[in-house]
Amino acid sequence: MNKQMTFGIIVGNRGFFPAHLARSGRQEIIATLEKAGMNAVVLGPEDSLHGAVSTREDAKKCADLFKANRDKIDGVIVTLPNFGEERPIADTLRMADLKVPVLIQATPDSAGKMLISDRRDSFCGKMSACNNLSQYGIPYSLTKLHTEAVDSPEFAQDLAWFAGVCRVTNGLRKTRIGAIGARPAAFNTVRYSEKLLEASGIDVETVDLSEILGRIGRMADNDDRAQVKLAAIKKYVSTEGIPEESLIKMAKLGAVVEGWMEETDVTISAVQCWTAIETYYGVVPCTVMSMMSERLLPSACEVDVCGTVAMYALALASETPSALLDWNNNYGSDPDKAVCFHCSNLPKHFFADVKMDYQEIIAGTVGKLNTFGTCVGRVKAAPMSFARFSTDDRAGKIRGYVGEGEFTNDPLETFGGAGVVRIPRLQHLLRYICENGFEHHVAANLSQVSAIVYEAAKNYLGWDMHYHRPEAGC
């Protein structure tokens, strides 16, 4: 991740408005992107008047430029330094057919410059541009304020937000998920539709757990791949008190899983656990999964494919690791607090302190010696965003919810990886989850990026989304 973003730029210009505004507007948006460390693909003054799009011919040239740079362009920014010709803007996007997010920016007028020589009317032109895009069926995003100067702090925030929307939209549309093993029989809750995911560009590559265990069986303990992974595990988390035999099992599991993912061009994963790996191999996969999630390649347990999609969306938005948690317990009598927990495979980014231990729940069934490999500790206090996606087979659509809260420092004595979360109007959210039949798993990220994920999922992927807001009535 941390990819340098590249945006196609459409500079709007309407002939009977001051053309010098288009010239300066083009220069300003390029400078703003350069300051943010981003690249621009934009017509030059040699291609059209001031490098703007104001005619059908300009639209063709701009569309051809965008198509030639299709593999580079993450999104398109329509900048309106004056009213702008509404139809050529829409024509450019239709002909280029990039299928990337689009942001509409309009530059404000100055009260002291409202004569014909400097008047912009971008305030009005933005509405016309949006009207035409709506007629063409082209989705687009808006800045928080109706008009914003491209060199303003407000636009800098919107640009960062839009870059996140592009990462999530484009990232999910070409994601390949490795479903490693079968869904645990006791977890109907994580059933999903591969076909609905495929319709959004998300591929699922399956592999039987027996194949993974078979590959492990053919790998010697001193295999270079196993030894490299063993060293990485010991560097990643404290392994004091963990049997060496268990550690080498984890290392071989990690080496085989990551090798299979590389062979099949899989980006993220969902892994069978509970209790096949423990019973027939003798460790939990938690540390291996935690390490992948820490590298922004989320891995969800219990073959929760939709859970790992939500983890990945949050990671793409924030460029920080995500975790999959259970909405697990109430916290005393506080209606806005809950305990979020997993056994756990949380990335160490989440922890105030972390060590490797055994899985106390499964140990009661398969024995302690077969359950080493969890990452346990307290989730640190921090702002958080949460997300959940689900395939609704009855309705034939993907749906989800997002929102924000915070992990707190409230006292908590438990095992695994756990934290106390405070979410305004939590009871309303819990009712929504139950009334709509969502899973008990939720993806979390130590950031505030719910608005990014919501925009990408609803506006560009076309999913049925609910935004849990702190204000009553939302």
Residue 117 identity (one-letter amino acid): S
Mean pLDDT of the chain: 96
CA–CA gap between residue 247 and residue 331 (Å, rounded): 35
Q: Measured between alpha carbons, how far is 303 from 85 in angstroms, rounded to an integer?
A: 50
Thinking of the domain 6-173, which architecture would CATH place it in?
3-Layer(aba) Sandwich (3.40)
Would you say 278 and 370 are in contact if contact means Cβ atoms under 8 Å apart? yes
pLDDT for res 203: 98
Distance (Å, rounded) from C-alpha 469 to C-alpha 78?
29
Q: What's the rounded Cα separation, in Å, for the pair 413 and 265?
A: 41
- Residue-level pLDDT at 1: 65
The string of DSSP codes covering 71-134 is TT--EEEEEESSS--HHHHHHHHHHH-----EEEEEPPPPTT--STTT---HHHHHHHHHHHHH
Nearest in space to 292 (alpha carbons), one of 307, 271, 276, 273: 271
Q: What is the pLDDT of residue 16?
A: 72
Instruction: Write out the H or E segment, with its range, that includes residue 63.
Output: helix 56-68
- Residue 224 structure tokens: 């270079």
pLDDT attached to residue 399:
98
Which mean pLDDT values do the consecutive 10-residue runs of the chain (474 residues) have? 90 86 96 98 97 97 98 98 95 98 96 77 96 98 98 98 98 97 94 98 98 98 98 98 98 98 98 93 98 98 97 98 98 98 97 96 94 98 98 97 98 96 98 98 98 98 96 64
pLDDT of residue 167: 98
| % helix, strand, coil for the chain, step of 5 | 40, 25, 35
Q: Tell me the domain boundaries of the chain.
A: 6-173, 176-468
Assigned CATH for 176-468: 3.40.275.10
Same fold for the pair 6-173 and 176-468:
no
Q: What integer pLDDT is reported at residue 19 of this predicted model? A: 84
Environment class of residue 428 by beta-carbon count within 10 Å: exposed (0-12), middle (13-18) or buried (19+)?
Answer: middle
pTM, full prediction: 0.97
Whether the bond between 275 and the residue before it is cis, its omega within 30 degrees of 0, is yes
